Amino acid sequence: MMETVHVGLGARAYDIQIGPGLLGQAGALIAPLLKRPQVRVVTDENVAALHLETLRAGLKAEGIEMEALVLPAGEATKSWPHFERTVEWLLAEKVERRDIVVAFGGGVIGDLTGFAAAVLRRGVRFVQIPTSLLAQVDSSVGGKTGINAPQGKNLIGAFHQPAMVLADTEVLGTLTARDFLAGYGEVVKYGLLGDAAFFDWLEAQGPALAAGDMAARIQAVKRSCEMKAEIVARDETEQGDRALLNLGHTFCHALESATGYGDRLLHGEGVAIGCALAFELSARLGLCAQEEPSRVRAHLAEMGMKVDLKDIEGDLPDAEGLLDLMAQDKKVVDGQLRFILARGIGAAYVTADVPRDVVKALLEEALAARG
């Protein structure tokens, strides 16, 4: 049942393997990359408790020894103190340039470990074994690595492509429903930005996929990875098209910042709300019919996801405050906010040509609906 998606990046090309039970085959899959039979694994407490022994056994089956660093779970781990601890642990473990470091966890572990691998001895190879849906469909692919700064999210980092990605779709079974659906926000994003037929398929298969249908999960991860791989191969360092992957993210980053990057709003939840707002904005600008944002919202609602600002608990800044937060987005160029808008489902594009007052009015209405 294993599927392979190739990321065509010349000398930095690699494969994404997708399927159930890949942890058990990790040794056989990773062995061709190794110069000596050992790896160092960075993971978090939740993933370690549930899956580390399965990975250890999968590596052991091919005679590969592993040592693991187990970090606390959560976004706060993507920070200087844990980064320092990780790099120093890898040095203490005498990881050499020809060795492989394994990132075993969600996006937090993948981003942190990838960045540690990027700077350790000026760059060692690493393998992503993503365990959250968000990490399998998005963060483990494409080579963006990094940590958060006190000044903002993902402000410190490097492009460092993994040598391989192993997405074991069976481990998704231990995610909380909330974490699973947050990852699903990124899956929907791919349909919305560039593949209307995929969005149609998600409308039909989404509920089964969420309920655990393995074939549907594999297909969703595969199609998402194909789309990301194709965009990354076209624009590895985000000079142009790669920004399409940020559909919904300008709104999302402002909302995450306003809610403190924590439990009030998970990243994937913010992406889903952001996608709904980006489609609403597109309709208001006359780019697409009003049916399009309605359809986006209907699907998110059917999946039991957050759809609107009113689904976010607690206080939010006013529209001006949210616009200020948007202005701190990394996508701002020469002070101009760049948005990903859509001419319809599956037809997104990047533009800096968005009147501020239209965005403000949209946010004011969305905030007013919170009552």
Interface ranges with ligand NAD (CB under 6 A): 44, 46-47, 50, 73-75, 78, 105-109, 111, 131-132, 134-135, 138-139, 142, 144, 154, 171, 174-175, 179, 182, 267
Catalytic member of 226, 246, 269, 297:
246
Please identify, using beta-carbon distances, which residue of 174 and 351 lies nearer to ligand NAD. Answer: 174
Q: Compute the least distance from the CB of residue 185 to ligand NAD, in Å.
A: 10
Examine the residue annotation and report whether 148 is marked as an active-site residue of this protein: no
Examine the residue annotation and report whether 160 is marked as an active-site residue of this protein: no
Please identify, using beta-carbon distances, which residue of 214 and 354 lies nearer to ligand NAD. Answer: 214
Catalytic member of 78, 160, 186, 236:
186
HEC sequence for 142-161: CCEEEEEECCEEEEEEEECC
Catalytic member of 253, 297, 299, 331:
253
Question: Which distant-in-sequence residues (6+ apart) come within 8 Å of 49 by Cβ?
Answer: none
CA–CA dist 24, 27 (Å, integer): 8
Examine the residue annotation and report whether 122 is marked as an active-site residue of this protein: yes
Please identify, using beta-carbon distances, which residue of 163 and 283 lies nearer to ligand NAD. Answer: 163
Examine the residue annotation and report whether 186 is marked as an active-site residue of this protein: yes
Q: Compute the least distance from the CB of residue 135 to ligand NAD, in Å.
A: 4
CA–CA dist 308, 218 (Å, integer): 29
Any idea what the Cα angle at residue 191 is, between residues 188 and 73, rounded to 5°?
35
Examine the residue annotation and report whether 249 is marked as an active-site residue of this protein: yes
Catalytic member of 40, 160, 267, 338:
267
Q: Compute the least distance from the CB of residue 48 to ligand NAD, in Å.
A: 9
Please identify, using beta-carbon distances, which residue of 92 and 211 lies nearer to ligand NAD. Answer: 211
Contact 171, 133 (CB under 8 A): no
Q: Compute the least distance from the CB of residue 26 to ligand NAD, in Å.
A: 14
Question: Which distant-in-sequence residues (6+ apart) come within 8 Å of 81 by Cβ?
Answer: none
Contact 16, 4 (CB under 8 A): yes
CA–CA dist 286, 109 (Å, integer): 41
Q: Compute the least distance from the CB of residue 25 to ligand NAD, in Å.
A: 17
Catalytic member of 40, 56, 223, 242:
242
Please identify, using beta-carbon distances, which residue of 115 and 279 lies nearer to ligand NAD. Answer: 115
**Cβ-based neighbour number of residue 97 at 10 Å:** 11
Examine the residue annotation and report whether 253 is marked as an active-site residue of this protein: yes
Please identify, using beta-carbon distances, which residue of 171 and 303 lies nearer to ligand NAD. Answer: 171
Examine the residue annotation and report whether 46 is marked as an active-site residue of this protein: no
Catalytic member of 75, 226, 236, 238:
238
Q: Provide the b/e sequence for 61-71 (b: ≥16 CB within 10 Å).
A: eeebebebbbb
Examine the residue annotation and report whether 365 is marked as an active-site residue of this protein: no
Q: Provide the b/e sequence for 315-351 (b: ≥16 CB within 10 Å).
A: ebbebeebbebbeebebeeeeebbbbbbebbbbbbbe
Tell me the one-letter amino acid at 148: N
Q: Compute the least distance from the CB of residue 247 to ligand NAD, in Å.
A: 12
* Positions marked catalytic: 122, 144, 186, 228, 238, 242, 246, 249, 253, 267
